[in-house]
Structure 1
């Protein structure tokens, strides 16, 4: 059986086609192709007839659906294995217990090959290898031959078509972006033209095409792209292009730069209308400290200040509001940004600062000398490099000078040495040094500062104010509470989540794409080992113990403490040494939900098994099973059967959710489903919910008279609770007339009839009886 798949090639990324070697197999009708598609996308796993019926026809199948499925499968067997004897067991497509299984490897199905190449491209992206990432994406895109599952009917195919189309579009966007990053704009333009033709309403693609055209000097063509999109949007949706595209069009028309320097882009600034000043929310005290330092340097008193905050806490925003534009006359301000490019150039950040601060012939001469000093140090630091640079800054600081270094921890080592030496100059010169850094950055340990301004998370009132500034329309209280909890007081996360909630772009379901990119960028500074542990924490719910993470990652607790220390220092995790809890819940959500679905299910299955093996709390095991969601196999169902009593007592709501999933798992054996569905009916009854359907399902199938009586009792009580007294009485009378239930149960049904008589037509009234007695709340039931 293991070799039956050899030579098979199933193609779903286009019209459904099947090949064995060089021979294409005739699949026939669209519904037969639909059955093959469902089985291929569950390759190696059992699919029940009921699942196939639902996949092909949804909630309203024809009366002949089961027979049709049988016919489709029989025909597919002959097509897939034409040499098989009619009475021999199939090897490629097998059946048993009302289920079917297609025995092919993932590499035999183009959808799985596509997803594997996407995963490979992500790994190359994380490693910074853009050429390898591009090659993987190009290989993934070559697998497509039209619309996924083209012409295949049924709700399952439609949902898969939507999912795969989104993945294809995301891959194509990233492919085009990579071409642009690598300077291959002509190739990007060709790819983007094809994409905008296929997706005429996707503004992101049009913006990328405009950018690529502008980069090649084809401004007129870029403007035509915008104008065409504007016309299409007006005709199709009655809207106009977004503000971002309109701004891009204006920049192309006026020939202005696309955006201000990175240090000028505030991460947590809320901008009002164009005439309004930029407003910073929740940082009044910190803003006051910086402005007092500015006034002091204008009066001749120097100082060095360090602004410390985790990514997204608003360091750049604070510097922007405090130090850009509104400074006393006579003060010069220079800005520099630490990044990978600046790190490669000796004195890179200092040069940025000095060049932006200096104007006039004499100051420009100082900058030219500083460039010479930097050039001399390219082949290696010279003994006089730091002294020469400090001396040039000393000459420039004869009048008030403010130097601002954003992300100083990413500056080159020579700049860091000069910055430390300049600290001493602030005692005698009107020189203000302001640097922003991430907490715990080892690069700046040797760089002193007179004052540290720490940016903590925003409080609840401040966070709410920021959300309302971004989304003035009132958000419903539940959504607002979730948004605040997810952001954890981080202004950047708050702003993006509020924008997403305001625009209705999917915050309720998954984090917006730009926020996913931002979180991944924030975590990129950590090692692969640290990111791996953070992902495990996210899969464990974002608030777990060291012992749990050690169990699922096979790491010793002392190793974990070392690995996650950078994340604690950076403020990604809280400081509690006994737990691994995310300070900002959205980070956990991004790590979890940006993981490919297949890998997500695999990890949750593995984590559930490991927690169960260690005897962990049953609710923690169930959290993993539900989070996947992980399809229940025989092993998981046996575990659930052994622990359902404990789970029901500790986490009844989770138990109900889990048992509902069991109820839908047609591949489980009848006895297991029967016992666990009975538990579902009991728990629904205990929680005051309608248990009629589940109790009725058990009662119709069990051969245990005690269990049948209990389920019929629960059905009757559910009807009674809903005011359906006649239906409750009918069940009680049926139980009494059959008389095959044990006497204790018959007594219960007699009491119920007595209780129901006042509510039944034509029945005399009866003395009042305790409802708790009638419903059996104090009667022990054998389970």
Structure 2
């Protein structure tokens, strides 16, 4: 960015110093006069998301969405990490390679580009355009012109040129629209400054580039008229009308038609102005004759329309947050290009999400756009204990407010609606219909003449309402919730215990109603600390009770929506209410229609329709197609309802069906993935089963459902009933190989400690033995070897007592692994040989593969290199013969280590590369850090230090992702060796 771009000194105070990012053209970066290499297009796409949000936190998920959209590759998270590392090197090349970046910093959940907004040309452009608009409004036309000229200089071509991804596409469209707005404002200024010839010369090009942009056409007509080219101005109107009819079948908007009429009459209003030209928006308090000229077709009504309603509730001046939603509402209700407002705008959202407050705030922001007045009514669609208003009641109230005598208000809805439309004609009125129960309650009021607007709020989605602009809202952003709470209780009190304040917002689920109630309770109890309220809310059983203040309560707000469904005459509504209750049975992050069908014991199609109805009622959310989730407080409400309305037997039966579906599908998925043999179950399971047809589908399903499966298993193992607890333990055991291969030892430990408790409670030694084995494996993964050995030895004893050959060979294999890590190679060899003997007796092929790998690794540790090589090559041959790619991955890694010790880095690299290919093919995430570390060592020994540094970076990031402190330590040791043998610039790449 040129140094002239920066108009304020704030950027010099940031670590970025003289760094600048230009995106109004090809994406470029500069530090002073030096141009920066910003890398490949997707890396530039990541930078653009960060730059547009300079100084703010951008989550990794938001970066992934911005670059890849709704279907990112599975490597997207790792790619973002790589791109961020590349950007750090590009933007801050002189930083300490072992210190954190001060330009592109890592924060909780994402990244932040520490760059002042004026150092990003797009943000500087927006600021100058905003300043120019304010100067224009204040009649400082020369100042406005200078600011617009400065803004125009920042453009160098198509913005974000060559940058891929939905974020870049959206910004190209948005910034392109702002550029057009700037050009329109510039042309308007030329006319205001008495330079119509210059305006016409500019506008002839702009209208040819944007032939359907009516505001440009209107300005061009005025400029031609001022240049005494009246016939050409009229020809422009005819051409515009023809184009609009051909393209969209629509007539020109009222503003352009009005301009055409004024030109036809040679109206003095279009002469050289001494004040701003009449625009599509209202001028302040126009004189009656001027008003008639602006609305010539409404003159006959002007004399009788003397009453102007100003009914909006008080402006919530302490309103915080919802900046994006407010901007969209302003754009819909008061378009910057002067076009008429959108005639129906609906704010939809969950109970307690702040719809009404947002609507009132937005209405006050645009009230000057509606000189005819503002009407307001609370329809009481979801007010506890109060009857909702009927359409005829609302129409009658509004007609009287507009001056219709009470005796002249029709009793028939259709007649009243017709009179309503007639009364609004030519008025420019904003009508706020707050808290609509459903579409039927407001439909008669919606067909309003152009220039008027309806703003409504509802818990329903209004998806079936034609030409309705919907502004859906959900929970507030974290910063908005924090600001709201701080306003209510004071900054000093909020800052006394930041951890408690953060936890309070978490417990409120960023729901405005809940945050407001919590703030009100604290404000009314000055002796309470924030932590006092937090301790009350931590108990789920009383959280909804605590979230009440006066006549405000989260529970009653949710109850209205629920009862409208439960008491409905429509079967689908009642099924949706049942579905909401059923979701209180199972504690998972989200659900699919298959799972809801199992909970309700209904077909999948019925369950899907019920969940879609909950989404429309804003009692459920759908982040991705087919996946539904409840807000935390809605979940607690659902749990209360199912407890109060259904018996314990009914709840257990629903949970049993859901767990059976999960367990049967998990067992099928594990089989399709080709994982080693899982612990068998003798439990009778229900008929539910998801249709998985391939290993890829199975792995994808396990990845998607992993968190839910772990949560369901944990919940079940904590249940008092024996069958539910056994289902939970069986599900935990079925997940073992998937979690181990994904490198998730913490989840393995948590699940199997619960399973061990179940086994002891039920006096089931088989459950105990398997839990001990899985715990030992998980502890081995994180280097807690002595603790792991205790569990494995206990499993070995139990397996032999049960005559369980499969369990015995697993225990021996786990002990062999443990002894290898401890460096006790003779014991590892004995365990490996014993395991092989048992596996051959039991006919367990994959167990024999594992035993051979352990034997070969033990020989390696004992420096019996020839024997080690022979056994490992035999293990590799058998794995390939039997299609065991999981164990083949391990054999390649062991062979790679052996080749390194034999002084053959070339063969080692080949083994590690083959192993990495296997690991990635079968998604054996736990093996990747070891293989990447081996590739780093091989590359270093071959003199390829840059490649070694890149492998180390990947090894360390992958080890951290799977929670493997052993490989983290080994990788850092290898980085030290590499640093000592490489140049400083190359060595620094070993750090992530």
TM class by smaller structure: 0.3 to 0.5
More helix by share: 2
Bigger RCO (CA 8 Å, 6+ sep):
1
TM-score, length of structure 1 as denominator length: 0.45
